Amino acid sequence: MAHRIRENDTIEVLTGKDRGRRGKVQRIMTRESRVLVEGMNMVKRHQKASGDLRQAGIISKEAPLQISNVRLVCTQCNTGVRVGFQLLEDGRKVRVCRSCQQMIDV
Ligand SMILES: [Zn+2]
């Protein structure tokens, strides 16, 4: 199945402390149905100095979000929207905004 969210998409967070914020998708974790979004869902982690250059101490890091808790931002609607799919005549499958029907992948 094609994915509704892809890397480098701008998404809006629907739940949690970052609700309403927007960010860019860094990584899709398909198996876990999670996405990693730049600067979103930051958590502090204690890290031991291990290996060569790793710094010990507390670091801030993004934690993945559930893919169902984010929505793709439609540039036309300027909000997080539901995504549908449309099959083009040349056989390509593109994502469309369910609100304004604008094609997202062109
Ligand atoms: Zn739209």
Give the predicted TM-score (pTM) of the model.
0.83
Q: Using the mean position of ligand 1's atoms as its centre, give its distance from the Cα of residue 3 in Å.
A: 17
Residue found under tokens 């593109």: 94
Is-contact 71 3, C-beta < 8 A?
no
Residues 6+ apart with CB under 8 A from 1: none
Q: Using the mean position of ligand 1's atoms as its centre, give its distance from the Cα of residue 23 in Å.
A: 17
pLDDT in tens, 23-77: 999 999 999 999 999 999 999 988 777 766 666 788 899 999 999 999 999 999 9
The C-alpha atoms of residue 7 and residue 25 are separated, in whole angstroms, by 5
